[in-house]
Amino acid sequence: MLDTITTLTTQKDSAAAGAELGGSIRQAFGGAAADAVLVFASAQYDYQRLLTALAQSCGTGVIAGSSSAGEFSNLARGEGHVSALAMRSDTMRFAVGLGRQLSRDPAAAAR
């Protein structure tokens, strides 16, 4: 089974935004940690502070995402915010990787 939650924060302080997102994720999962999070954040944030606070507050280091030019969840949208999709599963395992030189050797980049 896969449980998901989407959340969005308008908090401007990077660490506070990460903590708020993580708190929302934990609350939605009944206090349990997320297994993985996809996060999309405006370029105005300090990503190191944002992601450190998010990882600590939601209980996972499996975080991927990107900068964005507009953020949304199923309840809200806007610009200059941070949105996240968190996942929790008892049947799936999640990991994050970085593929390099994808156009030269796609198979090698996927390993």
Q: What is the pLDDT of residues 79-105, one digit of tens each?
A: 778 999 999 999 999 999 888 888 999
Q: Dump pLDDT digits (tens) for 47-77.
A: 999 999 999 999 998 999 987 776 656 676 6
pLDDT for 33 equals 96
Residue among 54, 64, 50 nearest 99 (CA) = 64
Nearest to 9 by CA among 86, 87, 73: 73
- 53, 22 Cβ separation under 8 angstroms: yes
CA distance 98 to 110: 8
What's the pLDDT tens digit per position in 17-51?
999 999 999 999 999 999 999 999 999 999 999 99
